[in-house]
Structure 1
């Protein structure tokens, strides 16, 4: 493969800056000060609480946000460096590192297309990472100074096969365990490991998360007791569960008038969890059997969004993995896959819940259309699940249809593994 030249790298920098310019300007220069980088304020307050001995889970950010810290105690310890620098320095540093993480996600997740374009790979990655800043999940990560980019990158590197040389000494499952210790939703990957009977990876992830949590308990015993003994089970700490920003299916039910904690809510939500959870882990297992680690990551990452009681749109940072997973190993040669992959990208460029809130606030007709827009990301996440199911089925058909070509390659001495095979050790 032709190596990128200095010109390719410089062009990549220009492309990324051009695409990122507006989202960065909007979220870091034009946003009201009381809404500026609100989550870094939450993290920083937790770090200050650790340093000053304040109760981590009782402290709120300044008005008008008044946001509590909702992550496990280890995250509060990791936030201490943010408390050692001025807020503006912490916010800008976090943004720059988050942009770097998005570039790394694009480099790893778009591996099939990247290999196809050869020396233009840096330009492709820059264009992809910059373009996804225009989608609501990734853009809101910058807007709020969120942690999702780092968690997605860590898990993606843990699932990648073949493993990066620099990570070969780290057992698979460690990064999933670390991500779970910091934010509980990556625990869906442990369920995936168990469904696929990948006992070693599941055990590694569980032990890693447990050891990290125990270590945090030893350093912050009172905070750990407060989190595991109460704060964890209080979904109201995450904000208004029935607000339009919460795009979990449970939130849809709350917006339809069901009361939190009611039997009616449980009876409506439980079948959804069983069906959608079953479909997600069944599809992820099929992707694993196909040897498609990228699709595995996309499906299980989406499952975390679909099954959580509270899902803000920035939790769907997995969109950066979902789109290339649909494109698949064809690297863009399959035009049908390309067209299908464009659907989730376009869907989440359109901020449907925002327009739905405006529709309802201005009392436009028909009223049901405003309600439909408000649930746009709930619907969109289920549409993505259907598209991933289609891509996995197409992968099975591609593998069956390509068997003759694979045999011919083998006779010719080709070293390329057949589509759908698993030529690596798990």
Structure 2
């Protein structure tokens, strides 16, 4: 007899067309705002940085000395391997690159929802979910994600975070995507780390979990990419590893509101000097121990989405610099909190809704307005100014809460079967 769980027919093409329409409708708000009505001198400024790095290679000029045009004057801050990947961007007009990059970000964010929300997307109507087609569910889940402040800022600047999140998610998600059958686990994390150093937090997770093969694969993949870049661009490699990497000022003002990491917030509220550094290190150890513990527990429970979400938050909270757009990980976090069947536990819907609203509202800029107008009390403005860090810590606790509920439900089912 045929397996009743197997699909009996292919999904009609119109459903995928409808999904694309829903996704584009959701993405239209930040796209129209930031690509049509945004000032030209602030248009896709990070894509301009990437493109200029590729252009520097083609022209033979120093990658880490070049700056984008005024008023931004932004330097390239990524490893030389990322500059090699940026060469194709230099072969196209900047306006074309900006639109293509935005389309790629929309596609990558939709793919993140597909992989992180697969439990919801593939849930059966018999489980209590309304009988919606998988593409429609994907579109409905993806559309509001583009309203998140970090995702919108990624579109605004033309950032790379959507691709980093997608690579790490695909590498760790179980069941493993069919596209990666030929790649060993850890390879995509290593590739992402070769482009941007922050995915290296997953290597820490591998080591703490004693998953040595994945750790060695990730480090080996990154090292191979960096060695390739060194052989092609030796001077640029020396300039990056021997100088640019140690210069935090290249990233911009670390005390600015956009830096929502633990260090960024502590730099704003004090104290300064050795005491401030000591407090930061203590906070890093405490939050890191809590977050990596959640990730390890999720891995043992087979919940790879919560695992990726927790480690991704560590990349934001523990890094010395975490701009608002780095919190693109909230897409994975929200889907992890929703779980497999949120209609059975509406507290999950409330928790995910709180995170969605929290990171949709541009709370740090509300704080800037509050402080700028001199409204009282002052501490409300400070809380709002640092709201993404607070939201990140709240999200970490909600991951712990949702994972504990899953484990309790599994234990209750097991006891009921005995």
**Same fold at TM > 0.5:** yes
Query: Which stretch of structure 1 is more off in the superposition, 8-17 or 169-178?
Result: 8-17
1:394 matches 2:401: no
Q: Contact 2:123/2:340 (CA < 8 Å) preserved in 1?
A: no
1:66 matches 2:73: yes
Map 1:195-210 → 2, pairs under 5 A:
195-210=208-223
Please state how far the C-alpha of 1:91 moved relative to its aligned partner: 0.6
CA distance in 1, matches of 2:266, 2:284: 13
The aligned residue for residue 166 of structure 2 is: 153
What SS class does the counterpart of residue 402 from structure 1 fall into?
helix
In structure 1, the gaps of 5 or more residues are 409-426
1:327 matches 2:334: no
Please state how far the C-alpha of 1:103 moved relative to its aligned partner: 1.2
- CA distances 1:78-105 after superposition (whole Å, capped 9, x unpaired): 1111111110011111111111111111
The aligned residue for residue 358 of structure 1 is: 369
The aligned residue for residue 293 of structure 2 is: 282
What is the TM-score of this pair, normalised by structure 1? Answer: 0.92
What is the TM-score of this pair, normalised by structure 2? Answer: 0.94
Q: Contact 1:5/1:119 (CA < 8 Å) preserved in 2?
A: no
Q: Residues 54 and 332 of structure 1: is their aligned pair in 2 closer, same or farther, counting only changes over 3 Å?
A: farther
1:7 matches 2:10: no
What SS class does the counterpart of residue 363 from structure 1 fall into?
coil
Cα root mean square deviation, aligned: 1.5
CA distance in 2, matches of 1:401, 1:284: 22
Map 1:152-301 → 2, pairs under 5 A:
152-259=165-272, 262-301=273-312
1:308 matches 2:315: no
The aligned residue for residue 29 of structure 1 is: 36
Query: Which stretch of structure 1 is more off in the superposition, 111-120 or 385-394?
Result: 111-120
Query: Which stretch of structure 1 is more off in the superposition, 173-182 or 13-22?
Result: 13-22
CA distance in 1, matches of 2:98, 2:57: 19
The aligned residue for residue 109 of structure 2 is: 102
The aligned residue for residue 354 of structure 2 is: 343
Q: Contact 2:27/2:106 (CA < 8 Å) preserved in 1?
A: no
Q: Residues 360 and 155 of structure 1: is their aligned pair in 2 closer, same or farther, counting only changes over 3 Å?
A: same
Q: Contact 1:57/1:231 (CA < 8 Å) preserved in 2?
A: yes
Q: Contact 1:277/1:303 (CA < 8 Å) preserved in 2?
A: yes
What SS class does the counterpart of residue 133 from structure 1 fall into?
helix
Query: Which stretch of structure 1 is more off in the superposition, 127-136 or 290-299?
Result: 127-136
CA distance in 1, matches of 2:71, 2:223: 36
Q: Contact 1:243/1:251 (CA < 8 Å) preserved in 2?
A: yes
The aligned residue for residue 48 of structure 2 is: 41
Q: Contact 2:255/2:268 (CA < 8 Å) preserved in 1?
A: yes
Q: Contact 1:116/1:331 (CA < 8 Å) preserved in 2?
A: no
1:137 matches 2:150: yes
What SS class does the counterpart of residue 307 from structure 2 fall into?
helix
The aligned residue for residue 368 of structure 1 is: 379
Q: Residues 255 and 200 of structure 1: is their aligned pair in 2 closer, same or farther, counting only changes over 3 Å?
A: same
The aligned residue for residue 127 of structure 2 is: none
Q: Contact 1:8/1:119 (CA < 8 Å) preserved in 2?
A: no
- CA distances 1:88-146 after superposition (whole Å, capped 9, x unpaired): 01111111111111111111111011012665211221222221111101111111100
Identify which of 133, 141, 146 aligns with 1:128. Answer: 141
Q: Contact 1:46/1:56 (CA < 8 Å) preserved in 2?
A: yes
The aligned residue for residue 414 of structure 2 is: 403
What SS class does the counterpart of residue 340 from structure 2 fall into?
helix
Q: Residues 48 and 316 of structure 1: is their aligned pair in 2 closer, same or farther, counting only changes over 3 Å?
A: same
CA distance in 2, matches of 1:364, 1:40: 37
Q: Contact 2:342/2:349 (CA < 8 Å) preserved in 1?
A: no
In structure 2, the gaps of 5 or more residues are 1-6, 125-130
1:57 matches 2:64: yes
Please state how far the C-alpha of 1:14 moved relative to its aligned partner: 2.5
